[in-house]
Chain A
């Protein structure tokens, strides 16, 4: 028998039956020798059994038709309400000609309303609106990046760091605040020596708060989105995704060391 001390965590793992058999036996022996603790642990076990038995009947109830998964899948496949189509049409008209393809890849699926997919869509919209702009793609230029950082942090009510992508060959052009259906987001724009532009969009996430990095594609704008500690990030551009991935990794690395 080992002489590792029995901890509070061991007692709970004992109650939940998740200890290795050997350790389980050690704890049992310990409880026999310490009847006070033994009683307390027995109380926890009894409580656990009571809860399980009391709640078990809920899982045995027949499912109502609203919870039929095949129905939900079918409805999802058909696309959702016509309202989304109306929104899609309005957006198409607004963005117009060159921007029209944004939604091409989307139909007939419904636009994402939350999570990483929604963030990626917002980043794509920002890219499509601001990246082709040669007059004023950004509101605050890179020369005022301290001001940019301060402004976006205060509006997002979170510390925002402007990523430095010089090692990847991209210079910061500047940034702006953009409106999303989830509140304000910070957009940063970069370009390389060939004039190729990238957009990084970041905002607090209501869902998917710690989601892993996921590839995203909307038409020919592609990139990666992820979330860390409640903040969502999305990097998009028109470069192939294998060149974008290391840049996204770099953005994530820098954001983690705020």
Chain B
């Protein structure tokens, strides 16, 4: 039980971050993480030896996917939370805030499979092999999905870059 505390506890912040970026709702994300931790505790003996990170992300990811499916069958129910100001450092300049906000909004618009690969690899630093395990797909698919995800996000960002600079100008001139 002690090794569980030592190995799992430091990973909880990353699990929260992944869940929240994936489902974009604070409460739902924390519920998923709680569910994930409960499962991990009761099935601790079933994990493979070694780093429990990919195992925990697998549990969490599957819970999130089930959640998506359920909300789909219940009909469209999209809650996109705006990131609150306090989420960023107080000294962060308005322009940077807008950029962060923007990239998260663009990310939210990607299909779920592209969003998850980008988060696991680029944010959570999972190896390609571990990401393949979490998503239960071959490593070749990890690479092609990653490529598509980056390409799509890039397009979205470039397409919106002009709009945003327009906004920033408007904001500046308003001050």
Q: Give how many B residues have a beta carbon under 8 Å from the other chain's beta carbons.
A: 52
Asked whether any CB of chain B lies closer than 8 Å to the CB of A52, the reply is yes
CB-CB < 8 A to B38: which residues of A? 72, 76
Residues B122 and A48 in contact, CB atoms below 8 Å apart = yes
CB-CB < 8 A to B157: which residues of A? 43, 47
Main secondary structure of the interface of A (DSSP, over half): helix
Which residue from A60, A69, A77, A212 sits with its C-beta under 8 Å from B48?
A212
A52→B4 CA distance, assembly (Å): 27
Question: Contact string, B75-117, partner A, CB cutoff 8 A, digits 1/0?
Answer: 0000000010001110000000001110110010000000000
Question: Contact string, B1-36, partner A, CB cutoff 8 A, digits 1/0?
Answer: 100110011001110110011000000001001100
Residues B147 and A8 in contact, CB atoms below 8 Å apart = yes
- Count: A-B pairs, CB below 8 Å: 121
With contact pairs A57-B87, A63-B13, A76-B41 given, residues A50 and B147 touching in the complex (Cβ less than 8 Å): no
CB-CB < 8 A to B147: which residues of A? 8, 12
Asked whether any CB of chain B lies closer than 8 Å to the CB of A116, the reply is yes
Residues A67 and B12 in contact, CB atoms below 8 Å apart = yes
Q: Which of B37, B127, B157 is packed against the most chain A CB atoms within 10 Å?
A: B37
Stretch of A30-38, A192-200, A203-211, A250-258 that contacts chain B: A203-211
The residue of chain B having its C-beta at the shortest distance from the C-beta of A52 within the complex is: B123
Which residue from A43, A51, A117 sits with its C-beta under 8 Å from B118?
A51
| Nearest CB in chain A: distance from B104 CB, A | 5
Which residue from A9, A60, A112, A114 sits with its C-beta under 8 Å from B13?
A60
Main secondary structure of the interface of B (DSSP, over half): helix
Q: Give how many A residues have a beta carbon under 8 Å from the other chain's beta carbons.
A: 48
Asked whether any CB of chain B lies closer than 8 Å to the CB of A64, the reply is yes
| Nearest CB in chain A: distance from B107 CB, A | 7
The residue of chain A having its C-beta at the shortest distance from the C-beta of B146 within the complex is: A12
Asked whether any CB of chain B lies closer than 8 Å to the CB of A115, the reply is yes
| Nearest CB in chain B: distance from A36 CB, A | 13
CB-CB < 8 A to A116: which residues of B? 46
CB-CB < 8 A to B107: which residues of A? 51
CB-CB < 8 A to A211: which residues of B? 46
CB-CB < 8 A to B83: which residues of A? 54
Closest 7 CB pairs of A and B: A54-B100, A59-B13, A58-B17, A50-B103, A48-B122, A76-B41, A59-B17
With contact pairs A59-B14, A66-B34, A112-B42 given, residues A50 and B5 touching in the complex (Cβ less than 8 Å): no
Asked whether any CB of chain B lies closer than 8 Å to the CB of A129, the reply is no
Asked whether any CB of chain A lies closer than 8 Å to the CB of B64, the reply is no
The residue of chain A having its C-beta at the shortest distance from the C-beta of B42 within the complex is: A76
Known interface pairs A69-B9, A73-B41; 12 further A-B residue pairs with C-beta atoms within 8 A, sorted by A's residue number:
A12-B143, A18-B127, A44-B150, A47-B122, A50-B103, A51-B107, A51-B118, A51-B119, A54-B100, A55-B17, A58-B87, A76-B42
